[in-house]
């Protein structure tokens, strides 16, 4: 439900910001942290949704030393507490007092490829998504197991982002890792996107907000979903019905709170989650022999209930939507990843903690629920492609007859008993029509999109 107009404006502003940096300025910055040695940019800059990277090399060193200037937060805690391959940070600055008037990190450049670049689960070498994983795939699973086991071991007393307290004179570059604690709100991609779109997530997630229980955090995540539902101007009603969207959110909330959330673990354990590993493979780099050489983008990491630390969506080689269409194949891949976790736990002579917690994902797609909680725009697909058939009515071959028999009465009952939902739908249909007209003018389209008839 991302507002396409706001997204386009943000993309243009981001491009303007990126183009404001001159190569000479970047090289001067890098040289200032390398004894004044000259350097040059050796490859084109790259950009993610929330950062840009410049790549420089110092040819005077032997061997040539390569750095990345990234604009923004060091993964100091992970580097100190685990053996996960994290780029070594040489320097960083927050915006205040920065030589280039914006936040930056200078770190080692890691030569590697993503699993997508390597054709993961899309060639015979890997074993196709409908097959058991190959030896090459299991080698990757073994290294993923090591990463997740180490993250699972990092337990904390509260939920939120890591940092230093306000009353300290220490900095992240001078402090001991043990002085880093949970002291800020979770810095998630969803919260960042809602802030960009003017939805005011800070009304519930104040900068210093942390959470003492799993239930309070999950309630806050469900509030984020409701906030997006209430404030988004674009419900994509040309693709899906408004009644089904509201019903899906309503039932998803009930399912999570009544059945899925583990109340016995309300007070912990709370563990560190990377924050941007589940939906895509971009943040894990491998060499040509499939050895994991780097895990990137830790700025989105924060502490969550252990129930949310689950296998990523891309185990079959594709992402979230493919998992929703083929969760049986996903469960099979998860089973093999869990086997790798068990083997690694035995090799480390550590209690089989993570493998026990993940065992339930061998037969049921718990990753789908966690994905929807952390990414509210996924709630519709998770409910209507998965939960509805699992919990309310088994799938039928004749979809039209099935819809009339199983879905239409449920929608009617909800809206009959909940005037607030009727009012919400009426308001959103008006907002959607206005948005379609504004979108037509903004993108200079010949005609506006039209809403589906329910």
Residue 134 is given by DSSP the state -
Q: What is the pLDDT of residue 31?
A: 86
Report the chain's mean pLDDT, rounded to a whole number. Answer: 89
Q: Do the beta carbons of residue 238 and residue 450 sit within 8 Å? A: yes
pLDDT(143) > 60: yes
Binning pLDDT at 50, 70 and 90, where does residue 74 land? Answer: very low
Binning pLDDT at 50, 70 and 90, where does residue 304 land? Answer: very high
Q: What is the pLDDT of residue 46?
A: 75
Measure the CA–CA gap between 265 and 256, rounded to whole angstroms: 14
User: How would you classify the pairing of strands 104-108 and 52-58?
Assistant: unpaired
Which residues share a beta bridge with 182?
A: 162
Sign for the pseudo-dihedral over CA of 334, 338, 339, 340: positive
Average pLDDT over residues 149-161: 96
Binning pLDDT at 50, 70 and 90, where does residue 379 land? Answer: very high
3 state SS of 42: strand
- All domains in the chain, ordered by first residue: 1-109 (3.30.200)
Can the peptide bond before residue 344 be classed as cis, meaning omega within 30 degrees of 0? no
Q: What angle do CA 183, 189, 192 make, to 5 degrees?
A: 80
Q: What is the pLDDT of residue 49?
A: 55
Q: What is the pLDDT of residue 215?
A: 98
Model pLDDT for residues 80-98, shown as the tens digit of each residue = 888 888 887 776 654 545 5
pLDDT(105) > 50: yes
Measure the CA–CA gap between 308 and 214, rounded to whole angstroms: 10
Binning pLDDT at 50, 70 and 90, where does residue 72 land? Answer: very low
94 CA to centre of own chain: 23
Measure the CA–CA gap between 52 and 142, rounded to whole angstroms: 31
Model pLDDT for residues 397-417, shown as the tens digit of each residue = 888 999 999 999 999 999 999
Residues comprising the chain, all counted: 454
Phi, psi dihedrals of residue 266, rounded to the nearest 5°: -60, -30
pLDDT(116) > 70: yes
Residues above pLDDT 90, as percent of the chain: 65
Terminal alpha carbon distance of the chain = 19
- Three-state SS string over 248-303 comes to HHHHHHHHHHHHHCCHHHCCCCEEEECCCCCCCCCCEEECCCCCEEEECCHHHCEE
Model pLDDT for residues 35-57, shown as the tens digit of each residue = 888 999 998 887 665 567 788 99
pLDDT(75) > 70: no
Q: What pTM value is reported for the model?
A: 0.85
Model pLDDT for residues 242-300, shown as the tens digit of each residue = 999 999 999 999 999 999 999 999 999 999 999 999 999 999 999 999 999 999 988 88
Q: What is the pLDDT of residue 73?
A: 43
pLDDT(20) > 70: no
């Amino acid at each position: 439900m991302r507002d396409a107009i706001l997204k386009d404006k943000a993309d243009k502003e981001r491009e303007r910001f990126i183009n404001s940096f001159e190569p000479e300025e970047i090289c001067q910055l890098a040289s200032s942290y390398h004894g004044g040695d000259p350097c040059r940019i050796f490859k084109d800059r790259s950009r993610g949704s929330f950062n840009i990277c410049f790549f420089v090399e110092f040819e005077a060193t032997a061997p040539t030393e390569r750095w990345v200037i990234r604009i923004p937060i060091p993964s100091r805690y992970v580097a100190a507490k685990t053996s996960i391959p994290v780029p070594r940070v040489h320097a960083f600055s927050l915006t205040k007092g920065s030589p280039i008037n914006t936040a930056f990190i200078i770190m080692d450049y890691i030569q590697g490829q993503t699993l997508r670049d390597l054709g993961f689960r899309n060639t015979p070498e890997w074993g196709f998504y409908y097959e058991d994983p190959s030896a090459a795939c299991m080698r990757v699973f073994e290294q993923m197991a090591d990463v997740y086991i180490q993250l699972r071991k990092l337990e904390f007393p509260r939920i939120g982002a890591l940092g230093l307290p306000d009353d300290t004179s220490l900095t992240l570059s001078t402090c001991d890792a043990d002085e880093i604690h949970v002291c800020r709100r979770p810095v998630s991609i969803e919260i960042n996107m809602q802030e960009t779109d003017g939805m005011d997530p800070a009304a519930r997630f104040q900068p210093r907000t942390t959470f003492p229980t799993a239930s309070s955090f999950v309630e806050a995540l469900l509030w984020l979903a409701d906030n997006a539902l209430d404030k988004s101007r674009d419900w994509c009603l040309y693709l899906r019905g408004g009644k089904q969207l509201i019903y899906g959110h309503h039932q998803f909330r009930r399912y999570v709170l009544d059945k899925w959330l583990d109340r016995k673990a309300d007070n912990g354990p709370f563990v560190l989650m990377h924050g941007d590993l589940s939906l895509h493979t971009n943040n894990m780099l491998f060499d040509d022999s499939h050895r994991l050489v780097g895990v990137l983008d830790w700025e989105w990491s924060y502490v969550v209930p252990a129930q949310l630390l689950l296998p990523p969506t891309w185990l079959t080689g594709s992402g979230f939507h493919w998992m929703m269409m083929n969760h049986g194949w996903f469960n099979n891949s998860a089973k093999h990843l869990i086997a790798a976790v068990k083997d690694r736990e035995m090799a480390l002579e550590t209690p089989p903690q993570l493998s026990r917690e993940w065992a339930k994902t061998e037969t049921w797609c718990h990753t789908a629920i966690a994905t929807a909680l952390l990414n509210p725009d996924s709630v519709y697909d998770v409910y209507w492609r998965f939960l509805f058939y699992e919990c309310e009515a088994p799938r039928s071959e004749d979809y039209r007859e099935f819809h009339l028999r199983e879905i239409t009465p449920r929608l009617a009952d909800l809206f009959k008993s909940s005037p607030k939902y009727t009012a919400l739908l009426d308001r959103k249909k008006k907002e959607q029509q206005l948005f379609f007209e504004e979108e037509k003018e903004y993108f200079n389209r010949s005609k506006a999109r039209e809403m589906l008839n329910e």
